Amino acid sequence: MKIGFIGLGQMGAAIARNLIEAGHDVTVWNRSADKAARLVAAGAHLAERPVDAAGGEIVLTMLADDAAVEAVTFGDNGILSSPARPIHVSLSTIGIPLAERLMQAHAEAGSVLVSAPVFGRPQAAAAAQLFVVAAGAADAIATCQPLFDTIGQRTFLIGDHPPQANLMKLCGNFLIGSVIEGLAEAMTLGRRGGIPKDRMLEVLTGTLFGAPIYNVYGDILAREKFHPAGFTAPLGLKDMNLVAEAANDARVPMPVLGVVRDHLLATIAQEGDTIDWSALGRIVERDAGF
Amino acid sequence: MKIGFIGLGQMGAAIARNLIEAGHDVTVWNRSADKAARLVAAGAHLAERPVDAAGGEIVLTMLADDAAVEAVTFGDNGILSSPARPIHVSLSTIGIPLAERLMQAHAEAGSVLVSAPVFGRPQAAAAAQLFVVAAGAADAIATCQPLFDTIGQRTFLIGDHPPQANLMKLCGNFLIGSVIEGLAEAMTLGRRGGIPKDRMLEVLTGTLFGAPIYNVYGDILAREKFHPAGFTAPLGLKDMNLVAEAANDARVPMPVLGVVRDHLLATIAQEGDTIDWSALGRIVERDAGF
Amino acid sequence: MKIGFIGLGQMGAAIARNLIEAGHDVTVWNRSADKAARLVAAGAHLAERPVDAAGGEIVLTMLADDAAVEAVTFGDNGILSSPARPIHVSLSTIGIPLAERLMQAHAEAGSVLVSAPVFGRPQAAAAAQLFVVAAGAADAIATCQPLFDTIGQRTFLIGDHPPQANLMKLCGNFLIGSVIEGLAEAMTLGRRGGIPKDRMLEVLTGTLFGAPIYNVYGDILAREKFHPAGFTAPLGLKDMNLVAEAANDARVPMPVLGVVRDHLLATIAQEGDTIDWSALGRIVERDAGF
Amino acid sequence: MKIGFIGLGQMGAAIARNLIEAGHDVTVWNRSADKAARLVAAGAHLAERPVDAAGGEIVLTMLADDAAVEAVTFGDNGILSSPARPIHVSLSTIGIPLAERLMQAHAEAGSVLVSAPVFGRPQAAAAAQLFVVAAGAADAIATCQPLFDTIGQRTFLIGDHPPQANLMKLCGNFLIGSVIEGLAEAMTLGRRGGIPKDRMLEVLTGTLFGAPIYNVYGDILAREKFHPAGFTAPLGLKDMNLVAEAANDARVPMPVLGVVRDHLLATIAQEGDTIDWSALGRIVERDAGF
């Protein structure tokens, strides 16, 4: 299939590479050209402007924040200006207001938005083991399904209203944050009582908490492997702020979200911008005097 | 093996029954005699006083709170007054100060305490699928292991200091509470955005949250099956208060614990004493205007 | 003095009236013209566009939110397009990013911004008893001082960096929110124990808490006078969100802010948009089963 | 009047001294005798046992915690064993369950309890500027009134049910804690924005927050005068735990209380036991990276 891919960070590059290797005709664009060069070496075409990556049947975007998605979508050289009217598959974790604005703009332009945010850290992306959470018009999703099958292990269909996939993703990311916070509090109390963190983790994952999320983040917390970051604290904070924006607009009080956000602020204030977001567990320990 | 079993509530009765059916010679005691009668019908001997259930090699206690454990252990007719000096296997979820006091009292009496709290709701107890978290002297635990194998699916050894098993259990129960709270906040936000609760749950458990705890409590929350309670809100609050006591003594701030406790207080204040503790999710929804 | 006044809501109308009565030559503008009519009846000139109110020495703005301030300042008919280059006195409670943007835009336009947010509810505005918190260039503030003396009982100078006055105001509003929340929690506990709310308030204000803020909000809480609102819950939430934005940018965790925001969300979700923001105390009581 | 005074810590010694200087015939008892010696030098009689201080018309107790009050009241040499049946004026900040138990025990013994906890730090006690919050039988309070007038600047009568005075005191202490927390959050945000702490305090106390509590604790926070402690962090935590116990029993969620307690835990964990409880403000600043 002739497709475009915009956004070649840690996640995007891994996903794009899988699409190239699956035999798709991929045109890539990235704000900093050096990252695109590596994909070109792997067989991709190079687009000079975002719109040049939107000449095929589908264009996928995987970008760090709302502003980046806005930049490549709206404006003179953005996706919406492409006469090809490709399906826009938005893989990024973005806010609900932007998702609604994208949906509306595509409707006005005669094109279609499919929101398809993914769960998984960079390793999962490289291994094509992502989970895809998709919402949009059924026929558009059907067209995209082969791509989802290439990049992920499973696709979940939420419905035909694209922003609901984004909301599902935000809820999931909030839950991940709440798991990190909960684990950190439990491990800190256990550690004070003489239970090693990895021993506690073994009991938890061996009993009721045997889910990937506890294995992945439990291990990071137990070994304090906060560098290099798989997902930095500022990115985590950005996502929690998107959840807070959605909760605010929906009038839903979420006190645990407040705790997670405050601890991410403390993490960034005390540890800087490059640390993994799970280092909020270090704040929990430090508060307890460790 | 000749053993005693004290405390025949929902959990205790199911466990004792499994021990009887495994062929052990079980003497039971319960504060209200009618519950004991059913076990006697199943083959148990009836003890008139707690001490009368402590004449064998091991005596197990499974009681609702610290006060009940104190009542059957200390005092004239308590376990400690038995000349048989059985190993005391404490299955209950109790506080750390009491666990330390029990340990010391047994040491002074020349007997041994094994703390072996269990994870699992009544159905798991009936199905002998509990998880046992044990700490105590190695030889005593070895003596108890056949019993643990009978009542549970797996035993985790924490070490030789009994209160650490109790702390492990408290940390686990806190984490369960934090999962309920997190799920409730996420589901409420999703519901406001039009995502049905069971759809969200399907995505969560199909991706990163595929653990028993999310299946069990997610289902309860999605269907609002808060009656009859598997574990009542006052019992949940009692456990969270034991965690808070441990956190207070250890100087460990646990903000999510505070959220869970406050929502349990609101649950009891608004819904009464007989509702399942997971109904704190109803408070989360109600706060959002549902 | 020849001045302009933009924004004639409850607060703005009261302030503008005091300026007119003090003999100033006041030109007013309001988005909905009917509110302006009343001021014209009191002696004001009517401006057709915001820029028409910016032809004198000073133009004051008192608007409900950041968007309204942006609308009257930037753009073709905004304050910045006035060749008179008046001092712009921003009385509104606005966010720090907008304050910085206003400051910069005025610097580029060759005019001057004085941030002068005020403390006080509508009655205080009408009685010319506001507190003015001002920051900006010293000579500009000196020019404005007679106006501040007319509308308020006292002016506090924060420094020459306008956004600091806005930050001071946001911190003050946060503290008001925290006082309401604290009072509500204390009064609810007291009420459960049989202490009437007004009795508790009498003790508090008669001992260590004898400040206007406790008198004003204590009385509202004790009598549950949430209608008509002096300051609605959505406006309170807007301000708390501006504080949260500042805290987020500054990496300052503020857990009590999180509590106040969540309770305002619950207030709006359960009570609607027209209730006073202090009705968050009703949520506190309702959570406790009242 | 012939009275007894039990408990000669910082607060108790200052109060007892004022009673002696007012001409009362005071018999004192303290667990460690050296503190009593100073009062004897000032004119007091020395009691060998608590009961020996309970031979007059009134016996006052001012002790650090519930356990100390229990120790001097119940038991062989306790106040209750005095045949003189003096009015027991309990000045200490104690929990509601103990207050109820004291009330009942006195009723059974044919004596009377007056709960009369006080607001004020040691300097206020020395200056006879305490606020007394009293509850109990009207005639008993009338008998005590001259003493209250001697030690304090004003007495508030809560009613005839003694525990309500204790609850009023706990609510007040909670509010003080919430003020410290709120101030610390606001000052930290302001400081990050370049507003000196004392400048912010000046604006706050000069506008809506002009109450003693903001002056006293604002000054301590602005100057970071946490040593020597007027009221140590462990004592503050003890009081907040008593509030939490009351809130738990009354089923009243108090999220700000949770924040204050967590910050006190962090204070003690990081700063030790001798620091003033207002040092929780240091934790707030530290979380923000200062």
Model pLDDT for residues C182-219, shown as the tens digit of each residue:
999 999 999 999 999 999 999 999 999 999 999 999 99
CB spacing of B185 vs A211 below 8 angstroms:
no
Closest residue of D to B252, CA-based? Answer: D265
Q: Is the pLDDT of residue C121 over 90?
A: no
Between positions 229 and 268 of D, the ones with CB within 8 A of A are: 255, 262, 265-266
CB spacing of D289 vs A283 below 8 angstroms:
no
| pLDDT reported for residue D238 | 97
pLDDT band at B74 (very low <50, low <70, confident <90, very high): very high
| Pairing relationship of beta strands D25-29 and A58-61 according to DSSP bridges | unpaired
Q: Is the pLDDT of residue A226 over 90?
A: yes
| pLDDT reported for residue A58 | 98
- Computed over every residue of chain D, the mean pLDDT equals 97
Q: How many CB pairs under 8 A join A and B?
A: 204
DSSP D274-288: SSBGGGHHHHHHHHT
Task: Convert the pLDDT of each residue in D5-52 to its tens digit.
Answer: 999 999 999 999 999 999 999 999 999 989 999 999 999 999 999 999
Contacts of A231 (CB under 8 A, 6+ apart): A121, A276, A277
pTM: predicted TM-score of the whole model, two decimal places: 0.96
**Separation in Å, CA B153 to CA A204, B91, B133, B216:** 14, 15, 11, 17
Contacts of C94 (CB under 8 A, 6+ apart): C65, C66, C69, C102, C117, C166, C242
Distance to chain C for A265, nearest Cα, Å: 5
pLDDT band at B223 (very low <50, low <70, confident <90, very high): very high
- Computed over every residue of chain A, the mean pLDDT equals 97
ipTM of the complex: 0.96
| Pairing relationship of beta strands B118-119 and B130-135 according to DSSP bridges | antiparallel
Distance to chain B for C269, nearest Cα, Å: 5
What is the average per-residue pLDDT within B64-87? 95
| Integer-rounded Cα radius of gyration of chain B | 20
CB spacing of C262 vs A258 below 8 angstroms:
yes
Q: Does C185 touch chain D (CB under 8 A)?
A: yes
What is the average per-residue pLDDT within D151-176? 98
Percentage of the residues of chain D whose pLDDT score is greater than 70:
100
Closest C-alpha among C255, C257, C229, C253 to residue C242: C257
Closest residue of B to C262, CA-based? Answer: B287
pLDDT band at B151 (very low <50, low <70, confident <90, very high): very high
Q: Is the pLDDT of residue D174 over 90?
A: yes
Q: Is the pLDDT of residue C153 over 90?
A: yes
Cα separation, B131 vs B128, whole angstroms: 9
Distance to chain A for D140, nearest Cα, Å: 47
| pLDDT reported for residue D282 | 98
Query: Helix, strand or coil for residue B230?
Result: coil
pLDDT band at B62 (very low <50, low <70, confident <90, very high): very high
CB spacing of A204 vs B172 below 8 angstroms:
yes
Which of B252, B254, B262 is nearest residue D253 as measured by Cβ atoms? Answer: B262
Length of chain D as a residue count: 290
CB spacing of A266 vs D255 below 8 angstroms:
no
What is the average per-residue pLDDT within B221-230? 96
| pLDDT reported for residue D75 | 79
Which residues of chain B have a CB within 8 Å of the CB of A99?
none
Task: Convert the pLDDT of each residue in C264-276 to its tens digit.
Answer: 999 999 999 999 9
- Computed over every residue of chain C, the mean pLDDT equals 97
- The set of chains that have 3 or more CB pairs under 8 A with C is A, B, D
Closest residue of A to C269, CA-based? Answer: A251
Which residues of chain A have a CB within 8 Å of the CB of B178?
178, 181-182, 185, 256
Residue A232 backbone class (left: φ over 0; alpha: ψ -120 to 50; beta: rest): beta
Distance to chain C for D287, nearest Cα, Å: 7
Percentage of the residues of chain C whose pLDDT score is greater than 70:
100
From C35, C169, C197, C225, the catalytic residue = C169
Which residues of chain B have a CB within 8 Å of the CB of A157?
none
CB spacing of B192 vs A158 below 8 angstroms:
no
Between positions 50 and 109 of D, the ones with CB within 8 A of C are: 96
Which of A266, A288, A289 is nearest residue D287 as measured by Cβ atoms? Answer: A266
| pLDDT reported for residue B121 | 86
Which residues of chain A have a CB within 8 Å of the CB of B163?
193
Q: Is the Cβ–Cβ distance between B149 and B134 less than 8 Å?
A: no
Which residues of chain B have a CB within 8 Å of the CB of D261?
248, 253, 258
- The set of chains that have 3 or more CB pairs under 8 A with B is A, C, D
Q: Is A238 a catalytic residue?
A: no
pLDDT band at A121 (very low <50, low <70, confident <90, very high): confident
Percentage of the residues of chain A whose pLDDT score is greater than 70:
100
CB spacing of C258 vs A255 below 8 angstroms:
yes
Cα separation, C104 vs C108, whole angstroms: 6
Which residues of chain B have a CB within 8 Å of the CB of D255?
258-259, 262
Closest residue of B to D256, CA-based? Answer: B258
Cα separation, B256 vs A260, whole angstroms: 9
Cα separation, C175 vs C239, whole angstroms: 11
- The set of chains that have 3 or more CB pairs under 8 A with A is B, C, D
| pLDDT reported for residue A75 | 79
Cα separation, A38 vs A10, whole angstroms: 12
CB spacing of B269 vs C289 below 8 angstroms:
yes
Distance to chain B for C271, nearest Cα, Å: 9
| pLDDT reported for residue B76 | 85
From A169, A197, A225, A238, the catalytic residue = A169
Q: Is the pLDDT of residue D87 over 90?
A: yes
DSSP chain C: -EEEEE--SHHHHHHHHHHHHTT-EEEEE-SSHHHHHHHHHTTPEEPSSGGGG-SSSEEEE--SSHHHHHHHHSSTTSGGG-TT--EEEE-S---HHHHHHHHHHHHHHT--EEE--EE--HHHHHTT-EEEEEES-HHHHHHHHHHHHHHEEEEEEEES-HHHHHHHHHHHHHHHHHHHHHHHHHHHHHHHTT--HHHHHHHHHHTT--SHHHHHHHHHHHHT--SS-SSBHHHHHHHHHHHHHHHHHHT---HHHHHHHHHHHHHHHHH-SSSBGGGHHHHHHHHTT-
Which residues of chain A have a CB within 8 Å of the CB of C253?
261-263, 265-266, 269
Distance to chain C for D260, nearest Cα, Å: 9
What is the average per-residue pLDDT within B25-53? 95
pLDDT band at B75 (very low <50, low <70, confident <90, very high): confident
Task: Convert the pLDDT of each residue in D244-264 to its tens digit.
Answer: 999 999 999 999 999 999 999
- Computed over every residue of chain B, the mean pLDDT equals 97
Distance to chain A for B111, nearest Cα, Å: 24
CB spacing of D250 vs C193 below 8 angstroms:
yes
Mutant choice from B257, B267, B287 vs C, greatest count of C C-beta within 10 A: B287
Mutant choice from C180, C188, C254 vs D, greatest count of D C-beta within 10 A: C254
Mutant choice from D262, D270, D273, D284 vs B, greatest count of B C-beta within 10 A: D262
| pLDDT reported for residue B107 | 97
Contacts of D139 (CB under 8 A, 6+ apart): none
Which residues of chain C have a CB within 8 Å of the CB of B266?
287-289
Contacts of B147 (CB under 8 A, 6+ apart): B1, B3, B19, B24, B58, B60, B89
Q: Is the pLDDT of residue D121 over 90?
A: no
DSSP element (H, E) containing A134? strand A130-135
Closest residue of B to A248, CA-based? Answer: B189
Task: Convert the pLDDT of each residue in A187-197 to its tens digit.
Answer: 999 999 999 99
CB spacing of D265 vs B255 below 8 angstroms:
no
From D35, D169, D197, D225, the catalytic residue = D169
